[in-house]
Amino acid sequence: MLVENIKREVIRLKAKYQTDDPFELCGAMDIMVRKMPMGTHEASCKGFFMVNSRCKTAVINNDLPSHIQRIILPHELGHGVLHSSPAVRTFHEFSLFDETDRLEYEANIFASEFLLTDSDVLDALADRMDFFHAASMLEVPPELLDFKLRLLRKQGYQIEAPYIAHSNFLRRDIDKPLN
């Protein structure tokens, strides 16, 4: 799916359901959100989306801090909105933010569009904040801001994206700075 179509879909969903809260949006869309303990070590699953008998469910690792769950749910919601047709997959466990996989890339785009408005990001950059300070102020991992900056560049903004997002960035402790 084209980036522009993903952006339009995020805008459409927020307007239709009048919310920018991913938990509220899932409820309004009849997508169940289940939280389950899945561990906190590097190899732990952070979440997944599944469809079983036409029931859509986003499962989130509740061993993770709430601010990380807040990032994972929009990613899973992206799978639900963009990839839940039987032709795509009925079950997709993820390695969050893996650019090499088209489905993961699209879910990452959905999450960055859902969590970061163009105006909030542009305002942070207009305040002459450095990249990492802007990510902290916007309460997202730097890698997610990197995805958003790349999208803004595609829209014609003269923004330098650092291109730091790696396929396994959420396997690290995102509460710690990048080395």
> 55: helix, coil or strand?
strand
Global pTM value:
0.84
Contact assessment for residue 162 and residue 150, using Cβ atoms and an 8 Å cutoff: no
pLDDT for 1: 67
Q: How do the domains of the chain map onto residue ranges?
A: 3-171
Contact assessment for residue 162 and residue 133, using Cβ atoms and an 8 Å cutoff: no
Q: Is the dihedral angle over the CA atoms 89, 94, 96, 100 positive or is it negative?
A: negative
pLDDT for 115: 97
- Rounded average pLDDT per 10-residue block, the chain, 179 residues: 88 97 97 96 88 94 93 94 65 45 84 96 87 91 89 88 64 66
What are all long-range contacts of 122-130, with beta carbons under 8 Å and residues at least 24 apart? 122/152, 122/157, 125/159
DSSP state of 172: S
